[in-house]
Chains A and B, each alone.
Chain A
Amino acid sequence: GESVGLHLPTLSVQEGDNSIINCAYSNSASDYFIWYKQESGKGPQFIIDIRSNMDKRQGQRVTVLLNKTVKHLSLQIAATQPGDSAVYFCAEIFTGGGNKLTFGTGTQLKVEL
């Protein structure tokens, strides 16, 4: 079936640098995308979302970019901090089929001091 996947399983960055986490999705019908952060031993935590009628959305230190042409989603974290170390998941929803989130496999972000 269709699924969401990530390009890089592990990403290491220096503290203070910007991080870019990528995600590819294959369901062209998906129209709503979300990023989650999961710290060790905890449940995932919502970061930011974007609907398909937008190509960019900004939050606090985070920006999500959506490229529907190539079915690509990215999460940019500015001035990465040690507290950003976690696994990041993208998720997609086809809102016409209910509100079921399909998650990708995750990227481990490691922030080096």
Chain B
Amino acid sequence: GAGVSQSPSNKVTEKGKDVELRCDPISGHTALYWYRQSLGQGLEFLIYFQGNSAPDKSGLPSDRFSAERTGGSVSTLTIQRTQQEDSAVYLCASSRRVNTGELFFGEGSRLTVL
């Protein structure tokens, strides 16, 4: 079956513009995560959705960042008024059940803010 799909794979934008990044998780996976990875760095947690529960937004760096998950499937990460420090690879992952560390990652969306 298909893996986690992310789009766009690359996005170049100007400072101050808004961007939307999309994630299609693996069908049937109940949990969905967004992480951010700067060049040569580890993964920084952003947000986590689990079924119908309230999302864990504790990793969102500012109120310019928001995410939605519609119908328990597709998720969109929105960054408003982008800044140069937002440049990174944004990774989405899904998992089939709760309490598992086995996440299935997409290949990421590389965001460059000029």
Contacts and interface: CB of A to CB of B under 8 A. Distances in A.
A binds B: yes
Interface of A: 32-34, 41-46, 49, 89, 91, 93, 95, 98-106
B108 interface: yes
B14 interface: no
A43 B101 contact: no
B43 to A, nearest CB: 4
Interface in B39-56: 41-45, 48, 50, 56
Interface of B: 4, 31, 33, 35, 41-45, 48, 50, 56, 58-59, 91, 93, 95, 98-108
A57 to B, nearest CB: 12
B108 A43 contact: yes
Given A42-B107, A43-B106, A89-B42, A101 B91 contact: no
Contacts of A100: 45, 48, 56, 58-59
Contacts of B102: 34, 46, 49
A89 B99 contact: no
Given A32-B101, A101-B43, A105-B41, 15 more contacts: A34-B102, A43-B93, A43-B105, A43-B108, A44-B105, A46-B102, A99-B99, A100-B45, A101-B33, A101-B45, A101-B101, A102-B45, A103-B45, A106-B41, A106-B42
